[in-house]
Amino acid sequence: MVAGHLQEKNGLFYIVLSYVDENGKRKQPWMPTGLAVKGNKKRAEKMLFETRSEFQIPKESNRDENILFADYMEEWLEIAKSRIKLTTYSSYEQSVKKVIAPYFRTLNIKLKDLEARHIQRFYIEKLAEVKANTVIKYHANIYSALKYAVKTDRIPVNPADKVDRPKKNDFSPGFYDADEMERLFTAVKGHRLELPVMLGAFYGLRREEVVGLKWDAIDFELGTLTIKHTVTTIRVGGKTLTIEQDSAKTKSSLRTLPLVAGFKEILQSLKQAQAVNKKICGNAYNYNYDGYVLVNEIGERMKPAYITGEFPKLLEKRGLRRIRYHDLRHSCASLLLANGVPMKQIQEWMGHSDFSTTANIYAHLDYSSKISSAQAMEKGLKLPENSVVINRWEA
């Protein structure tokens, strides 16, 4: 761990590190904490400790002076790998190795010569190919990489600070109403997707939560279903990996929901059927996925890609309106809203990390709250009786 201390300047705390580089030169980079001196000493000390712990002494300056920005992005990617989840790294890798690095490699721009205009041009060109939200992800990678370059004294300033980030796309989720949902349940009956569709529509579960559902998460006596395990497939290094983890997307995703009578009967019947299949198959049964709910007759677990790939095919075959599997989750939320469930309760049911996420996605569907607002205005602001609006404009 490198040495470092806090320094006060203009009423703010700054982190000052101290180390000797590979050329034997003493370096003392300053880093702003953004914290006011008054009342923030403990927070600043914590930031100092974290910065000292994460800081890596930059390599030879001669090599740094000539490194291409494309090569630096890939180097940063490997540095970031040790600090982020593998699922997050998979997303970073796709952006950096498939898009960002190839683009800037053709320009042959060195890290030290990179300017805001180069980054802005990259965004403009990519906006013609993909949605703004995708370009925002590219921006997040570029900004973080350049921020680390400043932190390690490889460049003096971050050129991404001067770039206009694309405006986020307005998101309007697709969803089924109650009638469409009933037709879907009828259409999916007897299909391998029957249970995944019902779990997605009724409980609003994500795909990785559905595939990751285990029997030990279901308490038939207490009548509860706990979301605590996920199964996700990612691409890393050109290979497809399956990630099984005893944690959900966020802390709020770890939630316990009531097991309604209909689901209790379905799941108990399925569990009994799995026990019979084990006896019939004997040694041919695949016990690698023993304990998972979504397994077939010989014990093979359903793949996440099967759900998202087969679902639209099923809809088309049954003549139903096309939506994504994830839109069943949105359908669940819209039906809860339509039946008067408060937004805060919907947040907890869906497992959103904060209330703003729920509100931003579903506020436009909350017609009941608009009725309440209209009634409140009508009560508080009386309109004149028997008034006549004259349809005339005077100059």
Q: What is the pLDDT of residues 297-328, one digit of tens each?
A: 999 999 999 999 999 999 999 999 999 999 99
| Residue boundaries of the structural domains of the chain | 1-57, 62-169, 178-324
Alpha-carbon span 27 to 55, nearest angstrom: 13
Judge whether 62-169 and 178-324 match in fold. no
HSE of 53, CA atoms in CB hemisphere, 13 A: 7
Q: Are 113 and 149 in contact (CB under 8 A)?
A: no
Alpha-carbon span 177 to 105, nearest angstrom: 49
**pLDDT value at position 54?**
84
- pTM > 0.85: no
Residue 311 class from Cβ within 10 Å (0-12 exposed, 13-18 middle, 19+ buried)? buried
Lookup result for tokens 């206009």 = 164
Pull the structure tokens for residue 309: 């790939």
Alpha-carbon span 36 to 42, nearest angstrom: 12
Give the residue from 91, 69, 90, 105 showing the smallest Cα distance to 138. Answer: 91
Give the residue from 86, 76, 35 showing the smallest Cα distance to 56. Answer: 76
Tell me the pLDDT tens digit for each residue of 254-270: 888 889 888 899 999 99
Q: Across the beta sheet with 224-227, what order do the strands follow?
A: 218-219, 224-227, 255-258
pLDDT (tens, 9 = 90+) of the chain, 395 residues, equals 788 899 888 778 888 888 877 766 777 888 877 788 888 888 889 888 888 888 877 665 445 668 999 999 999 999 888 788 888 899 999 999 999 999 999 999 999 999 999 999 999 999 999 999 999 999 999 999 999 999 988 999 999 999 988 887 766 667 888 899 999 999 999 999 999 999 999 988 999 999 999 999 999 999 999 999 999 998 888 888 888 888 655 555 688 888 988 889 999 999 999 999 999 999 999 999 999 999 999 999 999 999 999 999 999 999 999 999 999 988 888 888 777 777 788 788 888 766 555 555 555 554 444 444 445 544 554 555 554 555 554 54
At the topology level, CATH places domain 178-324 in hpI Integrase; Chain A (1.10.443)
At the topology level, CATH places domain 62-169 in DNA polymerase; domain 1 (1.10.150)
